[in-house]
Amino acid sequence: MSAAAKAKRRSPSAKTGKERARTLLETTGLSRYVGFVLRFAHSAVWSDLVKALQPYDVRPVHYSMLLILNAAPGARQQEIGEALSIQRPNLVALIDEMEERGIVRRQPHPADRRSHALYLTNEGAALLTKLKQVHQAHERRLNALFTTEERQSLIEELTRLARLAPDISV
């Protein structure tokens, strides 16, 4: 039986799986708590961004990295890792990948031969321009849900919450 036929045949009061799931979750009362609603919101918003970046074979972490390299050319891997809360060993593969794609490059650090200075390539800068547009479109989807005042106070309140823990992870 097709989904349409299934929908047609079920009575008005019957519920789909998703509706039942939502109802079941409601009965737990979790949706009345800041913490859990915050998690639901984050999950929805983040997956929207992930989807938006997918056509470019890019995850949010790539985007943040390009942004950082654009804002602070010549940064060391160490610094990038701290800013993005990525441990050094895990950063290596990420940079390897981006270097192979030709969007960033490692150079010898002028003052410290242990370190690499990281830079955007021209291709990286071009990709970043594209990604910024994608990100802006994503943010517009979010902002469409709020008035200017709401948006401002929301950001302020979320910032307060973010200060609860010292670590920030992008």
- Binding residues among 117-146 for a second copy as defined by CB under 8 A: 135, 138-139, 141-143, 145-146
Among 106, 135, 138, 151, contact with DNA (rule: CB under 7 A): 106
Based on the shown chain and the rule CB under 7 A, indicate whether residue 114 belongs to the binding site for DNA.
yes
Site map (CB under 8 A) of a second copy, residues 91-120, x = contact: ------------------------------
Is 115:78 a contact under the CB 8 Å cutoff?
A: yes
Based on the shown chain and the rule CB under 8 A, indicate whether residue 56 belongs to the binding site for a second copy.
no
CA distances 157 to 46, 83, 136, 153, Å, are: 18, 22, 21, 6
Phi, psi of 57 (to 5 degrees): 55, 45
Based on the shown chain and the rule CB under 8 A, indicate whether residue 40 belongs to the binding site for a second copy.
yes
Strand partners, 104: 120
Residue 84, C-beta contacts closer than 8 angstroms, at least 6 positions apart: 61, 64, 65, 68, 169, 170
DSSP 32-77: GSHHHHHHHHHHHHHHHHHHHHGGGT--HHHHHHHHHHHHSTTEEH
Among 10, 14, 28, 54, contact with a second copy (rule: CB under 8 A): 28
User: How far is it, in rounded angstroms, from Cα 39 to Cα 23?
Assistant: 18
Given strand 104-108, what is the order of strands in its sheet? 75-76, 116-120, 104-108
Residue 128 CA to its chain's centroid (Å): 15
Based on the shown chain and the rule CB under 8 A, indicate whether residue 79 belongs to the binding site for a second copy.
yes
Based on the shown chain and the rule CB under 8 A, indicate whether residue 148 belongs to the binding site for a second copy.
no
Based on the shown chain and the rule CB under 8 A, indicate whether residue 7 belongs to the binding site for a second copy.
no
- Output 87 or 148, the one with its CB closest to DNA: 87
Binding interface with a second copy (CB under 8 A) = 17-18, 20-22, 24-25, 27-49, 64, 67-68, 70-72, 75, 79-80, 82-84, 135, 138-139, 141-143, 145-146, 150-151, 153-155, 157-170
Site for DNA, rule CB under 7 A? 1, 5, 59, 61, 76-78, 81, 86-92, 95-96, 106, 109, 112-116, 169
